[in-house]
């Protein structure tokens, strides 16, 4: 075996439930595929073992929503949303037309993701095609898995950030040819209209057409903030709701990731369910910008796939452990507490379902690619509850120690 890790295994099962082995073994072959995940004793494995006890071995975290060009502006407390975009985000994102700057920040980004134990990420780039290519290159080189999109926006923001539909389509097609499906689908291109307010109806339609033509993931924001919702219906008066703007543009479907989904009606959630679209829940961002509280119960009760997003830089950390803790707080605040195994599921397998890679990653199961993190644990013989509590809440001094994608350790 190329990798044999002995430690406490903790992972959601794809079929439901949680794998927990206080003394477990994970075996990974030379292709990076998991060949065994279970009790150490039952494996009867005689080869050399990398003993990381008492540490936890979990699936790599999956961040279902973050912004590459906001890496350096974490903590800019200039919210709410539309003010924060104008004051902090747009001026920073406009810098990414400078190749050297984009390259420096992309290197910081991949370092921070790996440090946080994030092995798969859904990223918005800026509207700069060259910065988007730089982001892809950095992920490719670092060994991370993810989807990346050129951010389409022809309205709002300084002129340097605006891109016409024609230019956005042409640049996206070039990026698709170069990067979509890279390294056996480790990287994919996502059609990424920033949000309805930054796009005309025709731009949104072109985005829907492009996604349909190439069978691409789509990612965008929806119903993050009350004022944004009102302004959206003003800008798109033909639509019956915020969701309907995307629906009419052909942007809903099984490969669509809708970030936030806070101010939606039951009818909206029904429509998201009907179209099999997915949701990235970004609680830390929602706290920071005062956007509101998303309720997990309506989408989960409808069987809608939900993952967790850091939403850096409105989220204050790349750590999905922090995102899980925020999701816990948010669920308490809306009166529907969420159990700890469900939080781990949202930050791993749930994210894989949202990004369309659940057959490949998101859990420690035989036949899957070995995207794995090792996280220090304080107690040598933990229970499931103690292991989950430590992973999600006890993060002061227990940073992720190691991070692997397809069994290959990231530097
Ligand atoms: Zn966002």
Domains of the chain, first to last: 3-59+363-409 (2.30.40.10), 61-355 (3.20.20.140)
Q: How far is the CA of 160 from the centre of ligand 1 (A)?
A: 20
Q: How far is the CA of 36 from the centre of ligand 1 (A)?
A: 37
Residues 9/348, Cβ–Cβ less than 8 Å:
no
List, edge to edge, every strand of the sheet that includes 372-375. 34-39, 18-28, 3-12, 50-59, 372-375, 402-405, 408-409
Q: What confidence tens digit (pLDDT) does each residue in 55-72 have?
A: 999 999 999 999 999 999
Query: What average pLDDT does the segment 366-393 reach?
Result: 93
Q: How far is the CA of 310 from the centre of ligand 1 (A)?
A: 9
Q: What confidence tens digit (pLDDT) does each residue in 227-273 have?
A: 999 999 999 999 999 999 999 999 999 999 999 999 999 999 999 99
- 101, with CB counted inside 10 A (0-12, 13-18, 19+), is middle
Confidence class of residue 396 from pLDDT cuts 50, 70 and 90?
A: confident
Within its chain, how far is the Cα of 56 from the centroid?
Answer: 22
Confidence class of residue 353 from pLDDT cuts 50, 70 and 90?
A: very high
The candidate with the shortest Cα–Cα distance to 184, out of 350, 27, 31, is: 31
| Ligand 1 ion: Cβ-proximal residues, 5 Å cutoff | 311
Give the CA count within 13 Å in the CB-facing half-sphere of 228. Answer: 30
Q: How far is the CA of 106 from the centre of ligand 1 (A)?
A: 17
The pairing of strands 3-12 and 50-59 is parallel
Q: Is 59 helix (H, G, I), strand (E, B) or coil?
A: strand
Q: How far is the CA of 55 from the centre of ligand 1 (A)?
A: 33
DSSP bridge partners of 278 = 257
Token pair for residue 364?
């420690």
Predicted pLDDT of residue 381: 76
Q: How far is the CA of 221 from the centre of ligand 1 (A)?
A: 6
Q: How far is the CA of 307 from the centre of ligand 1 (A)?
A: 14
């Amino acid at each position: 075996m190329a990798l044999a890790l002995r430690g406490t295994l903790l992972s959601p099962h794809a079929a439901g439930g949680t794998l927990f082995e206080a003394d477990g073994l994970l075996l990974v072959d030379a292709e990076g595929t998991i060949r065994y995940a279970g009790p150490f004793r039952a494996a009867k494995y005689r080869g050399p073992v990398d003993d990381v006890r008492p540490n936890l071995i979990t699936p790599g975290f999956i961040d279902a929503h973050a912004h590459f060009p906001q890496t350096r502006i974490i903590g800019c407390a200039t919210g709410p949303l539309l003010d924060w975009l104008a004051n902090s985000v747009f001026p920073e994102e406009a810098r990414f037309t400078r190749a050297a700057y984009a390259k420096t920040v992309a290197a910081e980004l991949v370092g921070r993701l790996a440090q946080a134990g994030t092995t798969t990420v859904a990223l918005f780039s800026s509207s700069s095609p060259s910065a988007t290519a730089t982001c892809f290159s950095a992920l490719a080189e670092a060994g991370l898995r993810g989807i990346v999109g050129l951010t389409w926006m022809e309205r709002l923001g300084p002129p340097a950030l605006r891109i016409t539909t024609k230019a956005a389509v042409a640049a996206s097609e070039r990026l698709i040819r170069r990067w979509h499906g890279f390294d056996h689908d480790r990287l994919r291109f996502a059609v990424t209209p920033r949000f309805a307010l930054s796009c005309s109806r025709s731009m949104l339609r072109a985005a829907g057409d492009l996604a349909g033509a190439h069978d691409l993931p789509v990612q965008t924001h929806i119903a993050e903030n009350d004022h944004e919702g009102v302004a959206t219906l003003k800008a798109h008066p033909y639509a019956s709701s915020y969701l309907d703007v995307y629906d009419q543009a052909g942007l809903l479907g099984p490969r669509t990731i809708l970030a936030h989904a806070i101010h939606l009606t039951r009818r909206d959630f029904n429509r998201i369910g009907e179209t099999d679209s997915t949701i990235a829940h970004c609680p830390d961002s929602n706290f920071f910008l005062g956007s509101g509280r998303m309720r997990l119960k309506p989408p989960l009760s409808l069987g809608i796939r939900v993952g967790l997003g850091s939403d850096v830089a409105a989220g204050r950390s790349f750590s999905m452990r922090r995102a899980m803790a925020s999701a816990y707080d948010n669920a308490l605040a809306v009166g529907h507490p969420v159990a700890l195994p469900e939080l781990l599921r949202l930050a791993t397998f749930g994210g894989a379902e949202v990004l369309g890679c659940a057959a490949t990653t998101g859990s420690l199961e035989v036949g899957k690619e070995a995207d794995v993190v090792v996280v220090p644990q304080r107690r040598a013989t933990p229970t499931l509850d103690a292991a989950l509590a430590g992973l999600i809440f006890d993060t002061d001094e227990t940073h992720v120690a190691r991070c692997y994608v397809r069994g290959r350790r990231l530097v």
